[in-house]
Structure 1
Amino acid sequence: MDTPRFRTLGGLAVREGGAEHAPRGPKLGALLALLVLRPGRTVGMDALVDELWGDHPPRGAVATVRTHVYHLRRALREDLGEGADRFLVTRPPGYAADIVPEEVDATRFTRAAERARLLLAEGRADRAYTEAGAGLELWRGRPLADVRTGRALSGVAQRLEEVRLQLLTVRIEARMLQGRYTELLPELRDLVAAHPLNEPFHAFLIEALHRSGRRGDALGAFHRLSSVLDEELGLEPSERARRLRQVILTDPVPGRAGTVDPAGAVGTAETVGAVGAAGAR
């Protein structure tokens, strides 16, 4: 897959040939990010002013936005060469990034997540695993990590973080459907440590341990989930997690253990192919 021209996952950057431009200054970065993340769409002046200054815009904010656009275009030409700024077009009542959505890594990322979820829902675990992996390869870190985000961009960054959790969940579930339980254990432990309140990740770890023949470790993982929920939120594990524990206690054969869809009910090993993509809490 070719490299996206516009990078937003991790730091913000524009690539042109072998050169790269990273915005200098918080306002230019926010301006570029807002336009790039709405490819082909006009972003009105009100939205631009709100993103750059929130509830406290300066006098002459509209004129200042125009000045920032001028400086952004000049910076793009300096770093990437003449004509590199032509994608930034004036389109009343504001501006637009006249680009193809697939040129933006965030667009590819979210579309990969959509395809992976559909493939998994169709029971095509191998394809779902490959598609989810391709999407996750685009991840370079926290979205817009070097941009001072306002209301709109903060919301976009948060949604992209959620998409990453969904992609991870789809990839793990596809691997579970393939029966690769032991291989998943290191990744699942890391995810549980990074997202201690995410029950689907805990459920995957518990099941993978049991189906790897480590029944005691699986029960220990359930008790750790119970403890963290109680200490952090004053809650008990969900009914789905409790049903998984019951399956482990009553089923002596790991190969036939109940399989939990974190977004749905407990199934059996024979019906696991029908499990849909799970959402991350």
Structure 2
Amino acid sequence: MKIQILGPLSAEVNGGSIVPSAGKPRQLLSLLALYPGRVMPVPTLMEELWNTEPPASALTTLQTYILQLRRKLGTAMGPASPAGAKDVLATRHGGYLLQIDEDCVDVHQYEKLVREGQTAFEAGDNDVSAARFRAALGLWSGAPLVDVRVGPVLEIEVMRLQESRLVTVERRIDADLRLGRHAELIAELADLTARHPHHEGLHSQAMVALYRSGR
């Protein structure tokens, strides 16, 4: 399985998409994918789907959405799959979980690369640091879940990811500055400071790049 959160929602099994067309099942898949291998409690799922005003039929409707996702999953997995859809999208006491490896989800690949980049940066290995940060940022294809109408739980996750991306950009630029890539950064920093006029770190980096480039 391959799931992309960092841009439009995408989820594929054996080359076939399992992304539902309806809005709330898309929210459900997105939230489960953000926490692979972890049980998402029913109240959290309900909060995402209906905020603080779930209908009387909320639990039954949630179960229906889970069944719909399992059908799409089962179709994509095929009859020869050793694990059934119920094993992958599993029911647990009080909730549901997507039983997949973290590396199947781009968010977790991104966060792993960021950690590796930060470790290399702190060790003074600037080439590796810049490369890891660049690889992490390369996983993004747009705003997180740009085509999903998010509820209150996913909204917080989207904000967290957007903030993380900007921090990672700043860290990558720090590594590039250490590597003497000042002139190469000027145009990028001009764009970033225009889009984030109150971000002191980016403005500071822009001044450093200009100064070291003799401008």
Task: Say yes or no: TM over 0.5.
Answer: yes
Q: Is residue 2:62 matched to residue 1:61?
A: no
Aligned mates of 1:193, 1:20 — CA distance in 2: 38
Match of 1:99, SS state, is coil
Q: What residue number does 2:198 align with?
A: 197
> Does the 8 Å CA contact 2:36/2:98 hold for their aligned counterparts?
yes
Q: 1:35 aligns with which of 32, 36, 48?
A: 32
**Normalising to structure 2: TM-score of the pair?**
0.92
Aligned mates of 1:157, 1:104 — CA distance in 2: 15
Q: Is residue 2:90 matched to residue 1:89?
A: yes
Q: May I ask how many residue pairs the two structures share in their alignment? A: 211
Q: What residue number does 1:150 align with?
A: 151
Question: Highest relative contact order (Cα 8 Å, sep 6+), 1 or 2?
Answer: 2
Alignment-mate amino acid for residue 192 of structure 1: T
- Give the CA deviation at 1:81: 4.3
Alignment-mate amino acid for residue 63 of structure 2: R
- Give the CA deviation at 1:77: 3.9
Q: Give 5+ residue unaligned stretches, structure 2.
A: none
- Give the CA deviation at 1:91: 1.1
Superposed, 1:125-144 pairs within 5 Å as 125-144=126-145
Structure number with greater Rg is 1
What per-residue deviation string (whole Å, max 9, x for no partner) do you get for residues 226-263 of structure 1?
xxxxxxxxxxxxxxxxxxxxxxxxxxxxxxxxxxxxxx
**Normalising to structure 1: TM-score of the pair?**
0.71
> Does the 8 Å CA contact 1:116/1:131 hold for their aligned counterparts?
yes
What per-residue deviation string (whole Å, max 9, x for no partner) do you get for residues 143-195 of structure 1?
11111111211111111111111211111011100111001111111111221
Let me know the Cα RMSD of the aligned residues.
Answer: 1.6
Aligned mates of 1:172, 1:23 — CA distance in 2: 38
Q: 1:78 to 1:24 in 2, by over 3 A?
A: farther
